[in-house]
Structure 1
Amino acid sequence: MARALGVLVTGLVLLVLFGVGAVLLEDRGADLEARGTRVEGVVLAVQGGGRSAWTADVRYRADGQVREEQVALGDSGPTTRPGDRVTVIYDPADPGNVALWGTHNDPGWASAIMAVLAVGTVAGLTAGPVLLYRAVRDRRRAT
């Protein structure tokens, strides 16, 4: 029974961590959009596909300097092509922290962590009750 409870509690903990991660990622994007500086930029290259998330290299001007950074485009495919004009949002305190306006910009590592948390949550919340039911049933049969 302890194993079943452990699996169930693990699923619940992972669910909480998933929720916290979702809120933090949403706040990160909303914070950058709210206080970031918007400038025009150009897409230099688009990479990804297959097993990796899509990214784009963009060039933009921040604080009088031309900068080039890589931004996440998400897993659904490229939304831009090389040469496209885009709106770049950058953090004035950290001009290398950039996003593209209207694009899902979570970093790949964050998406990977959220996927692991989601799978773990589903596994724990599915297997936990089943294991708990079996443990209770087996205990009742033994008495």
Structure 2
Amino acid sequence: MPFKLLKPQVEAIVSDTTKTINERLLLVCQLLETHIDYYNWVGFYFANSDKKELHLGPYVGEPTDHTVIPFGKGICGQVAVSNENFVVPDVAAQDNYIACSITVKAEIVVPIFVNGKNVGQIDIDSNTPDPFTEKDERFLEFVCEKVSEIL
């Protein structure tokens, strides 16, 4: 499904105040994983700045042991420090990659900002080599912007 058709659905989910924030975040994960073929694991990590750790929030996909990630470790941990999107076309070529599953070939992580502060991120794994484009980045920035409005 094209990103432009998903945007209003993301907005509808995020603005549904009859659900908790975590319920809405899980629905966003389910929407993306269901409608974008190469999004095989979709989840949110949130920063605990005092401990310099990321904590796993709602997600869809294979279970992961990586429920807490130190800042700087792995792709997610690097985004917590850099405050910038990180697109990994081939996880096997990354030195500082935390393997979640042998099926994962690529990853994209986009930070979530609230009042200019990096409070978390959306993390997407793909079993397809090099699937992410600039359109994915722009769409996920949109998703993160909408999510930031409810955090």
TM over 0.5: no
TM-score by length of 2: 0.28
Larger radius of gyration: 1
Bigger relative contact order, structure 1 or 2 (CA pairs below 8 A, ≥6 apart): 1
Give the strand-richer structure, 1 or 2.
1
More helix by share: 1
